[in-house]
Structure 1
Amino acid sequence: MQLARILGVDEKCLGTEIDPASWLGQRAQKLIRIYQYLSARAGNDDAGVSQWMRTSNRRFGCSPRERLQKAEGLDEVMAYLESLL
């Protein structure tokens, strides 16, 4: 499952409560912030967010969705979006 790969956990962990102060909680919060930032930039248009996530990005050499599935990808996508502020 993509979410488990992005968060770097086993799929079984997704059905449990996540402590916001834990490593997993911090990663989940970054993913939420990425979505919130993209949603605001796209005018709350989920199709626009989805398109950005699927489209190849020169900074990553792949789509942001693909990049997020690598260990350091969450931090890289977050840093890229923060650099646009």
Structure 2
Amino acid sequence: MNAFAKPTPDRSVVLSAAVTRVADLWGLSNTKLGAVLGLSGPTISRLKRGATKLDAASKSFEAGQFLVRLFRSLDALLGSDDDAARQWLQTPNLDLGARPIEAIETMRGLIAVCDYVDFYRARV
């Protein structure tokens, strides 16, 4: 191993930090983030404190990846305007049949919202 090589960051630590940052920027409560990730409120509290991390082999990790994907897509589409992203998430969407913030509480909904935003982004 090269003595100057940087160590590879732990994927679980990086994703856990990114997910908590998204929750902070979007104003997601522990309950809401827990619903999105399929975790309990106390586990979300530990995640935000850095006392636990998302397990790379779990569905919660996969949901976290989709949440970060959604954040990045909205961020690019809306020019890094977090207020606009929060408003978009709260606004009823006829195409999705729900407010996106409610739709992302299920894995199927989270994937659908990601796909919807990515499709819209591809048209721009």
Give the TM-score normalised by structure 1: 0.86
Report the RMSD for the aligned CA atoms in angstroms. Answer: 1.5
Task: Point out the more displaced range, 42-51 or 15-24.
Answer: 15-24
SS of the residue corresponding to residue 26 of structure 1 reads helix
Aligned residues: 85
Correspondence 1:1-80 to 2 at 5 A: 1-14=31-44, 15=46, 16-80=52-116
* 1:71, distance to aligned residue in structure 2 (A): 4.5
Q: Which runs of 5+ in 1 are unaligned?
A: none
Q: Could you tell me which amino acid in structure 1 is paired with residue 108 of structure 2?
A: E
Give the TM-score normalised by structure 2: 0.62
Task: Point out the more displaced range, 17-26 or 49-58.
Answer: 17-26
In 2, are the aligned partners of 1:4 and 1:10 still within 8 Å (CA)?
A: yes
What percentage of aligned pairs have identical amino acids?
Answer: 31
* 1:67, distance to aligned residue in structure 2 (A): 1.0
Q: In 2, Cα distance between the equivalents of 1:45 and 1:79?
A: 20
Q: In 1, Cα distance between the equivalents of 2:97 and 2:54?
A: 31
- For residues 39-75 of structure 1, the C-alpha deviation after alignment (integer angstroms, 9 at most, x for no partner) is 1111111111111101110112221011112342111
Q: Highest Rg: 1 or 2?
A: 2
Q: In 1, Cα distance between the equivalents of 2:59 and 2:98?
A: 26
Q: Could you tell me which amino acid in structure 2 is paired with residue 41 of structure 1?
A: L
Q: Which runs of 5+ in 2 are unaligned?
A: 1-30, 47-51
